[in-house]
Amino acid sequence: MTGGEEKNRLIVDKFKELIGKFSFKPENRQYIIFRAILLCVATLLVSVNWYMFERKENYQIGLPSERTYFALTSARYEDKAATLELRQRAASRIIDVMVQDERIASEVTRRLETLRNGELTQLFNAPLLNVLQKQSSASQKAITDAVVKIGGMVRNESADRDQQTALIWKYLKETSLTQSERNIAFQMLDVLMNPSLLSDDEMLQKLRDDVAAQIPAVIKEIRPGAVLVQKGQVVTPSIARLLASQGYPDAAFPWKHLIFILGAIVIWSFWPVWIASGLRGKLSMREWIYIAVVLSVVWTLEVVFARLGGYSMAVLGLTGWLCLTLPVSLSFHVIFGGGVISVIIAFGSNPGIVCLGCILAAFSGGIGRILFFDPPNHRITIWRNLFFLGLCLGAVSICVHWGLGLYFDYNLALGAVLFSAVWGTIVVALLPLWENVFDVLSPLRLLELSHPSQPLIKRLQMEAPGTYNHVLMVGTLAEAAADRLHMNGLLVRAGAYYHDIGKLKNPQYFVENQRHGKNIHDSLPPELSGRVLISHVKDGLEIAAQTNLPKALRPFISEHHGTTAQKYFYEKAKALGEDVKEDDFRYPGPRPQSRETALVMLADSVEAAIKARNKPFESDKELSDFINQVIRSKVDSHQLNDADFTLKEMSMITEAFMDVFRATYHSREVKDINEIIKEARLKHLGESDKGEDNESADAEKEGERKDEDDNILR
C-alpha cells in the first residue's frame, strides 16, 4: 500500500468514526427521549403562551398599548426623538451656503479696471455713452468714481439680479450724486456687474450635517418602577425599542426567543447526561423520563405563576423532588440548568430576570443538597426544609433586586413567604405520585417499605418467622455500617428487609424456620437441597415483580449471595460419592454491583455465620476475628470486585458490625437469689459483731477519761 493510499484510508476511518459518534445507539435511547420531551414541552409552552396571551396583550408599533408598562431594571438610554428634534432645529438655522464663481468675479474685476482706465467704448453701448458724454467733465468723473466704488462693493455680495439691484440702489442713495446721475450710474453698473455668488446645495447639506452632529445625544435615565408607556398610549418605534430592552416581548411570534430556548436545552442536556455517566448506578429510561416530566411540570407552573403576576420560585419544587429522589451528585446540575431555563421560558430574555434566575437556581441547588443530605423521615420535615429554603431564596432575591437595581417592593417578601409554603405543600403532595408512576425512591417511601405493616414483611412474620428475625438483624447490621460510611442507610435497610422474600415460597427448607432437631434436608439428596436453597433468589425476583416491589430494591435479592457456592451440600454430595460440579451448587448472581448490595451481602453472611456457630465468643477480639474471617472469604472469592470498598472502609464495617453484636448479644448475668440472701445475712452478722466491739472500746475510753479527770483533780 502506497503512502497516498494509507493516508486516504486513515481519512476515511476518521470520517467513519466521526459519523459513528452521531449515529443512533440503543443505549442512548433514554437520552434522546429525555431531550425530545424537553424540546416538545418548551415549544408547546412558548407557543401556547404567545397564542393565548402575548399576541393579545403585547404591544405593536403604531397601535395603542393594551396595558401600562413599568421599568424592571435601571437603564440609561438615548431619547432618539428628542435628539433628532434638537439636531434638526440646529440644522434649520443654516439657510443657504453661497460660493463665489471665480470666473464671473474675475470678469467683473477686469471690467471695473477698464472703466478706471477710461476705456468706456469697450464697455458700454453708444446710447449709454451719448448720455454720459452730455454730462459735464466733473459729473462724468463723479459718476465713474461712484460706479467703480460701488462695483467693488457689490461684486462679492450678490447672488442674483434682484439682490444686486437692491444693493446698487442702496449704495447709490448714500452718494452725493443727483438723481439723474444716479440713473446713469445704475445703468452703467447694470452693464458691468453680474452676480458671482451661487447657492451650493451639496455644501449646504454637509454644513447642516456637521452642525447637527455637534449637538450631543439626549440621554435619559429610568429607575425600576418608572412608567414606560401608559395604557392607551400609541407605541412609537423608540418606545418599542425601550420596551424590548426591558425584556417585554412584542405581539409578533417570538421565533428568536424559541430558537434560543431550544438551543439552550440541547446544549445544557449534555451536562446532566455526562454527570450521570459517572455514577455507580446508571439511571434507567424510566428515571430519565421522570426527570423530564418533573422539569416539564416546573416549567409549566412557572409560566402559569408568571401569568398571574410574578416570579414563583418554582426552583423550590424542582429542588425538593430531585434532591429526594436522585443521587445528590446529579440533582444540583439538573436543578441549576432546569431552573435557569424555566425563567427564560416564563419571562423572556430579560437580562435582570435571567440573572436572578441563575443566582436563585444555583443557591437552591447548593443549599438543597445540604438540607436533604440526611434523608428526612417525616413529611413535615420536608415541608419545613423547603419553607426554610424558600425564605433563604426570598432574602437572596431581595438582595439581588437591590444590587442589580431591579424593581421590587414589600410584595416581594410576602410572595417569598407565600410561595415557600405553597411549593412545600405541592412537593409533599405530589411526591407519592412520582414514586408510584416512575418507581423512584424517596426517603419517605423507603420508610414506608421498611414498616412492619408492609404486606411482604407481614408475610415473613407469619409464614417465615425465622427469616423475618434474620432480615431484621441483617437490616440493623447493614444500616449501622451504611451510616458509618455515609451511605444511604434507609435504602440499605429496606434492601436488607426484602433480600430473602424468596424464602416465602418454601420457608420450611431454610434452617432458621425449622424446629429444633428437625432438618428436612437430612432426607433429601444434597443436589436437590442445593437447588431448593438457590432457587430462593429466582423466587424472590418473581415475588418482587408480582407485588411491584421497586426495581431499586430488586438487586438486593439477586446479588446478596453473588456467585458463591453452597459448600455444605457440595461437600456432602462429594462425600456420598455423587458425580457433581461445584457450579451446580453456585448461585446465579450477579456479584454485588453496588456498595449497598455488597454491604447487605456482608451483613447477611456475618449474621448467618454467627448464628450457625452457636457458641458464645470469649472476647471482642474473637468476635472481631470471626467477622473479618467471614468478610475475607467474600473478598477471596472475588464477590466484592465490583464494589469499591477501601481497607479503611472494611475496618469501619467490622467495627459497626461489632457494635451491633455487642448491643444485641450482650451478657445478662443475674445472681441467684439464695446467694444474695446469704450475702445479706453475712453482712448483717458482721455489722452486729462490729457493734459489740465498738461498745467495749467506748467503755474502755470512758474509764480512761475518768482516770485522767481524777489525776487532774488531784
* Lookup: cell for 37: 420531551
On whether the CB atoms of residues 199 and 97 are closer than 8 A, the answer is: yes
- Is 80 exceeded by the pLDDT of residue 78? no
On whether the CB atoms of residues 612 and 470 are closer than 8 A, the answer is: no
pLDDT, position 27: 67
Considering the entire predicted model, what is its pTM? Answer: 0.68
**50 secondary structure, DSSP code:** I
Read off the pLDDT band of 264 (50, 70, 90). very high
Instruction: Give the integer Cα–Cα distance in Å for 99 and 102.
Output: 9
Read off the pLDDT band of 99 (50, 70, 90). low
On whether the CB atoms of residues 315 and 361 are closer than 8 A, the answer is: yes
Q: What is the mean pLDDT of residues 270-282?
A: 84
Instruction: Give the integer Cα–Cα distance in Å for 610 and 615.
Output: 8
Helices (H), 214-254: 237-245
pLDDT tens-digit readout, 146-202: 888 887 787 766 656 777 788 888 888 888 888 888 888 888 877 777 665 556 567
pLDDT tens-digit readout, 19-73: 554 455 666 889 999 999 999 999 999 999 888 887 776 777 888 887 788 887 7
**348 secondary structure, DSSP code:** T
Residue 394's nearest CA partner among 414, 422, 372 is 414
Q: What is the mean pLDDT of residues 598-619?
A: 89
Read off the pLDDT band of 335 (50, 70, 90). very high
pLDDT, position 232: 84
Single-letter residue type at 487? M
Q: What's the first-to-final CA gap in the chain, in angstroms?
A: 143
Single-letter residue type at 399? C
- Is 80 exceeded by the pLDDT of residue 309? no
On whether the CB atoms of residues 82 and 215 are closer than 8 A, the answer is: no
Instruction: Give the integer Cα–Cα distance in Å for 284 and 291.
Output: 11
pLDDT tens-digit readout, 547-575: 999 999 999 999 999 999 988 888 888 88
Instruction: Give the integer Cα–Cα distance in Å for 244 and 224.
Output: 15
- Is 90 exceeded by the pLDDT of residue 603? yes
pLDDT, position 707: 46
- Is 80 exceeded by the pLDDT of residue 104? no
- Is 80 exceeded by the pLDDT of residue 687? no
Query: Bridge partners of 64?
Result: 234
pLDDT tens-digit readout, 394-421: 898 888 878 877 666 777 788 888 889 9
On whether the CB atoms of residues 603 and 567 are closer than 8 A, the answer is: no
Report the mean per-residue pLDDT for the chain: 82
